[in-house]
């Protein structure tokens, strides 16, 4: 027997230290990930429960005559009891008289998940719209909604591309059938509104690219927590191909560039089908623990004119992150979504919706915070071509005017009003200087906002942007006269009423300490805010804030703060623009006394989604002169590119807040302009009562950053360990071909922990992050990606995305200062591999001990010879006809019935049995030394092979789950690519060959050794570089490796049939 390799004590210490560190980090990350968010943070859940009276009608007429999937899937119609017309209760078939809406569930989802939206639509229409048909504030062309729901029998669309394609095909068939149900209706609809949850949102995008798509049948798609930017799992090749093909189709649809002769027809079809489609992606943010919220981005897929991504933390009246399942039933969100859907309905139109521009305007107004530059295009104050469209004339009594110079504020509370008993509104004017200085207007109030025409009879306030009367030409605009017969002096202004531009802001005052307190259905009413930047303000001469004369109804806590401030005083940056400085030193800024009402602080270094941050606000002290603050300081956290907004209220109660952002993320395209992805903090404060300067300190929160690594890098655990095992196998085969001794897997782990291997490995993993972020390197490396060779639609590097960056290599990150994440993932993976190896050793040792104990017990009753022959025989299992037939049937079943993933699991089970048998035989010492040494080689080889097979096993499990699920619903449609005979044949034959205890001999020539090392080296390279986004190819690479092992086994092998029979001995040699 060959002697074990000798390693320095230091090497063993390094190995056990790194393995222990890796497992400790893994447990620590799991602990942080499972911990709850702080109750007062912006990441705490705040959804309210709901109630409904559901009923479902299965549409049995949608059978095999309309779709080939009728035996697997079904279609339901939702009816809210007591509101909707239920088919079974009617004598007529005319129960479909609304706007058709189709709900598509997600991975393992059910059709019943759509009931919350459907119920809210019924209540909104029948309780609000129908009784107020003549209310001009409501959409006069709205109708009730007929909610249809697809039932996919809880299919696993996230696991299997063929299933995703089947669902998309079925949805197109269902849409065509739904529209046919309205054929007898006057002005029958030609399109359906589609709502998709999770992978259902991806299905809703795939339908446009399929041949059975009904032209113009869908023009509005709303997706909830759907992974548009990247597939959440990469274990199935078909799924990644469908993703890349669908993305390419949508890019073609909004591209004006020629696609080349071979793709021009596809581009024309895409342009025709997608030109009028609006796509809204809603994500719940950090509470979504199933799917990274970054993946819901529509960047580089849909232009701003046709869609956007919005976070629920920024939706007015919601202001809360929502988990993956709650996003379909969260009360605040469903009310906002249904309200928006009701406003885009145009029952007069065959499309049943308003034109694209109107739909997008409605969606922006309902779902965006309103502070975004993207949302400002819908402001009534916005002058697109520089010429405002004034709508009303004002004549104001000078005695009711309060003028404020730039920098001054108008503060009005019930105790300080002079016009409380007046009959005319109080007018507060902000004159905008014409000297070229740039000013911004900000206002915050707890008082309701209303139209100026109803101000005299209401109790709110109005805001108008005006120009002076002396510059007016004669016009026929409506005239509002607030003067009296006794008025001696007055002012005439031509104005635009911008009250509709008010933004709802969470309340931060008194007992309202949680965001949910003032959300929809909360105990308190929210604040209202206005903010106009210099590009808007510069088009006018005066800002008018008009107060209602009926102020007796105001509460004692009601307030109004408005201000016109210099733009440069409203924007501050921390001055430290690099991520490195932020990580090392943090960033701080001091806001002086007399600061504007709203001050925006840009933190250029905070742009990574992989890091959590901590924001500390110091010196938040109330005024010492006894004047109470009108509201608690509030912070709006926002990022320009992703439209993410979060609110932090009641800062005095807790002046340190955890912050997480969705800026630049791994494997997600982002816009090249760096300032669009950095963190911004907009502080709203009452500086009159807050006399001391406020210091803001931003630092990296390393503890909470661990939480953010889980969803982004969970697939690393499936790829990196395969690369580590490949490195160990490279050393084992190298040593075997040199010394005819196959080292143990443990010795291989020690070898890669020696300094001359470990240090270069960690250095290479460290530089991989900055190197893979370079476009030229990406383009070069991607030529070595075998997965890309077979998928022409894949976008793998930056040069394919005009104006955007995308990194699909290694860890997919752009943050060069985070180079340490590569070594960190390697160490965690090393700990996982070491733990799995020692687990196998423990199982083998336990099996041997159990076997020997059984032998001792039986030896008391039976002859030793019989027991030894039964338990201690090292002779191979011969090529019996029974096993040959079993192997043949297993391989023959793959092309016709079972997926090759099932055959792979069978091979794993056989490999486990073989390893246990070999471990027992190798533990006997009655065999002569040379043969015993060779048998130890065989044991070490099988343990290493078992390690590799077990680590590749997770790649095959998801598809097997889909197959078993299809069996349960009696669906036997073949899996096409998963019946690839060649994808499993080498593995099956190799395992069968090993069952005969055949093992290769030392290579007599150099070429086989070189090929072995090359195959393993590419496996290592692929696992680390491409394995995260192409995990399914790890199986194919192992399959190729198995094929090469077969070549070696059949050309140069050693068979243990020559080894004499070994009988069980109580003294066992040590298992390595």
Active site residues: 198
Reading the block at residue 225, the tokens are 């927590």
Give every CB contact of residue 134 below 8 A, 6+ residues apart in sequence: none
d(CA 287, CA 270): 35
Give every CB contact of residue 1015 below 8 A, 6+ residues apart in sequence: 1040, 1041, 1044
Contacts 24+ apart (CB under 8 A), 268-273: 270/208, 270/209, 272/215, 273/208, 273/213, 273/215
d(CA 963, CA 615): 49
d(CA 987, CA 996): 15
Helix (H) or strand (E) holding 959: helix 929-968
d(CA 104, CA 218): 13
Give every CB contact of residue 90 below 8 A, 6+ residues apart in sequence: none
Phi then psi for 821, rounded to 5 degrees?
-65, -30
d(CA 543, CA 431): 7
Q: Rounded to a whole number, what is the distance in angstroms from the first to the last CA of the chain? A: 13
Q: Which of 868, 847, 879 minimizes the C-alpha distance to 994?
A: 879
Q: Which of 449, 393, 457 minimizes the C-alpha distance to 425?
A: 457
Q: Please, is 875 exposed, middle or buried when counting C-beta atoms within 10 Å of its C-beta (0-12, 13-18, 19+)?
A: middle
Mind giving me the DSSP string for 227-261? --SS-S--S-HHHHHHHHHHHHHHHHHT--S---T
How many C-beta atoms lie closer than 10 Å to residue 567's C-beta? 16
List helix spans (H) across 434-587.
534-537, 567-570, 579-585
Give every CB contact of residue 889 below 8 A, 6+ residues apart in sequence: none
Q: Which of 846, 830, 784, 810 minimizes the C-alpha distance to 951?
A: 830
Cross-strand partners of 442: 531, 563
Q: Which of 406, 377, 479, 514 minimizes the C-alpha distance to 45?
A: 514
Q: Which of 617, 1024, 624 minimizes the C-alpha distance to 811?
A: 1024
Phi then psi for 680, rounded to 5 degrees?
-125, 140
Say which DSSP state 403 is in: E
Helix, strand, coil abundance in the chain, percent, nearest 5: 45, 15, 40
Give the residue carrying structure tokens 């890796």: 22
How many C-beta atoms lie closer than 10 Å to residue 127's C-beta? 11
Beta strands in 730-812 (DSSP E): 804-805
Beta strands in 885-1040 (DSSP E): 998-1000
CA angle 937, 943, 947 (to 5 degrees): 145
Q: Please, is 594 exposed, middle or buried when counting C-beta atoms within 10 Å of its C-beta (0-12, 13-18, 19+)?
A: exposed
Report whether 657 contacts 635 (CB < 8 A). yes
Helix (H) or strand (E) holding 696: strand 694-701
């Amino acid at each position: 027997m060959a002697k074990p390799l000798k390693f320095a004590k230091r090497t063993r210490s390094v190995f056990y230290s790194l393995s222990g560190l890796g497992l400790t980090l893994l447990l620590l990350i799991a602990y942080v990930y499972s911990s709850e968010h702080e109750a007062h943070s912006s990441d705490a859940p705040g959804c309210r429960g709901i109630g409904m009276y559901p009923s479902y009608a299965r549409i049995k007429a949608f059978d095999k005559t309309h779709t080939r999937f009728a035996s697997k899937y079904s279609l339901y119609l939702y009816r809210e009891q007591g509101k909707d017309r239920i088919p079974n209760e009617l004598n007529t078939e005319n129960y479909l008289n609304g706007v058709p809406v189709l709900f598509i569930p997600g991975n393992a989802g059910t059709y019943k998940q759509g009931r919350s939206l459907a119920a809210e639509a019924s209540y909104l229409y029948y309780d609000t719209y129908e009784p107020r048909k003549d209310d001009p504030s409501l959409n006069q062309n709205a109708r009730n909604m007929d909610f249809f729901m697809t039932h996919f029998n809880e299919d696993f669309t996230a696991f299997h591309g063929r299933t995703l394609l089947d669902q998309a095909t079925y949805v197109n068939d269902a849409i065509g059938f739904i529209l046919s149900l309205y054929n007898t209706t006057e002005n029958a609809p030609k399109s359906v509104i589609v709502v998709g949850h999770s992978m259902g949102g991806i299905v809703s995008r795939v339908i446009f690219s399929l041949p059975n798509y009904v032209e113009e049948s869908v023009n509005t798609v709303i997706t909830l927590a759907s992974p548009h930017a990247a597939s959440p799992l990469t274990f199935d090749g078909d799924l990644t191909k469908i993703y890349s093909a669908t993305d390419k189709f949508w890019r073609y649809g909004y591209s004006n560039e020629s696609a080349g002769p071979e793709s021009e027809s596809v581009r024309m079809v895409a342009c025709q089908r997608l030109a009028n489609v609006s796509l809204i992606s809603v994500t719940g943010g950090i509470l979504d623990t199933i799917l990274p919220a970054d993946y819901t981005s529509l960047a580089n897929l849909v232009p701003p004119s046709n869609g956007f991504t919005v976070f629920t933390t920024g939706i007015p009246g919601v202001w809360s992150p929502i988990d993956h399942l709650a996003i379909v039933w969260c009360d605040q969100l469903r009310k906002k979504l249904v309200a928006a859907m009701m406003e885009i309905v145009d029952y007069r139109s065959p499309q049943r919706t308003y034109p694209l521009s109107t739909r997008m305007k409605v969606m922006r107004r309902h779902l965006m915070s309103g502070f975004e530059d993207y949302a400002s295009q819908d402001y009534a104050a916005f002058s697109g071509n520089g010429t405002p469209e004034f709508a009303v004339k004002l004549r104001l009594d000078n005695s009711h005017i309060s003028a404020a110079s730039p920098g001054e504020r108008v503060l009005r509370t019930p105790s300080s009003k002079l016009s409380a008993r007046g009959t005319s509104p109080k007018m507060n004017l902000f004159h905008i200087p014409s000297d070229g200085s740039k000013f911004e207007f900000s206002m915050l109030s707890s008082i309701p906002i209303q139209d100026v025409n109803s101000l005299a009879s209401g109790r709110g306030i109005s805001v108008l942007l005006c120009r002076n009367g002396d510059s007016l030409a004669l016009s026929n605009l409506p005239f509002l006269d607030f003067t009296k017969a006794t008025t001696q002096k007055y002012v005439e202004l031509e104005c635009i009423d911008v009250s509709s531009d008010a933004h709802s802001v969470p309340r931060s005052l008194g007992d309202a300490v949680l965001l949910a307190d003032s959300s929809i259905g909360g105990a308190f009413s929210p604040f209202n805010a206005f903010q106009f930047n210099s590009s808007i303000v510069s088009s006018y001469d005066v800002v008018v804030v008009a107060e209602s004369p009926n102020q007796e109804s105001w509460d004692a806590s009601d307030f109004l703060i408005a201000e016109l401030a210099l733009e440069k005083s409203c924007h501050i940056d921390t001055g430290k623009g690099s991520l490195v400085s932020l990580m090392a030193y943090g960033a701080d800024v001091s806001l002086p006394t007399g600061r504007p009402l709203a001050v925006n602080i840009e933190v250029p270094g905070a742009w990574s989604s992989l890091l959590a941050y901590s924001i500390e606000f110091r010196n938040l002290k109330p005024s010492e002169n006894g004047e109470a603050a009108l509201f608690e300081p509030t912070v709006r956290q926002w990022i320009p590119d992703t439209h993410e907004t979060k609110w932090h209220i009641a800062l005095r109660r807790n002046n340190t807040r955890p912050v997480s952002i969705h800026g630049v993320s791994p494997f997600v395209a982002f816009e090249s302009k760096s300032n669009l992805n950095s963190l911004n903090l907009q502080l709203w404060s009452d500086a009159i009562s807050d006399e001391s300067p406020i210091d803001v300190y931003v630092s990296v929160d390393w503890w909470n950053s661990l939480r953010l690594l889980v969803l982004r890098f969970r697939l690393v655990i499936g790829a990196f360990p395969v690369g580590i095992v490949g490195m160990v196998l490279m050393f084992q085969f190298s040593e075997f071909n040199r010394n005819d001794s196959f080292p143990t897997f443990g010795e291989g782990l020690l070898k890669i922990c020696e300094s001359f291997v470990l240090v270069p490995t960690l250095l290479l993993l460290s530089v991989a992050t900055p190197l893979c972020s370079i476009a030229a390197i990406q383009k070069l490396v991607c030529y070595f990606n075998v997965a890309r060779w077979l998928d022409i639609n894949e976008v793998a590097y930056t040069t394919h995305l005009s104006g955007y960056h995308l990194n699909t290599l290694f860890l997919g990150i752009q943050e060069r200062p985070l180079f340490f994440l590569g070594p960190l993932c390697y160490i965690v993976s090393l700990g996982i591999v070491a733990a799995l190896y020692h687990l196998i050793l423990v199982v083998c040792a336990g099996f041997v001990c159990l076997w020997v104990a059984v032998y001792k017990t039986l030896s008391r009753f039976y002859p030793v010879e019989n027991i030894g022959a039964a338990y201690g025989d090292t002779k191979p299992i011969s090529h019996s006809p029974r096993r040959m037939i079993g192997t043949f049937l297993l391989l023959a079943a793959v092309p016709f019935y079972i997926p090759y993933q099932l055959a792979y699991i069978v091979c794993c089970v056989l490999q486990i049995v073989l390893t246990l048998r070999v471990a027992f035989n190798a533990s006997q010492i009655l065999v002569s030394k040379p043969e015993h040494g060779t048998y130890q080689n065989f044991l070490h080889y099988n343990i290493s092979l078992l390690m590799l097979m077990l680590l590749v096993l997770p790649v095959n499990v998801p598809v097997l789950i889909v197959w078993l699920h299809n069996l349960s619903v009696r669906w036997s449609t073949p899996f096409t690519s998963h019946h690839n005979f060649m994808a499993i044949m080498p593995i099956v034959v190799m395992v069968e060959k090993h069952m005969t205890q055949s093992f290769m001999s030392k290579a007599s020539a150099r070429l086989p050794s070189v090929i072995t090392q090359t195959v393993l080296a590419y496996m290592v390279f692929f696992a680390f570089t491409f394995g995260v986004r192409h995990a399914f190819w790890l199986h194919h690479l192992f399959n190729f490796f198995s094929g090469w092992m077969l070549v070696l086994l059949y050309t140069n092998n050693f068979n243990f049939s020559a080894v004499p029979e070994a009988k069980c001995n109580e003294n066992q040699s040590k298992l390595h």
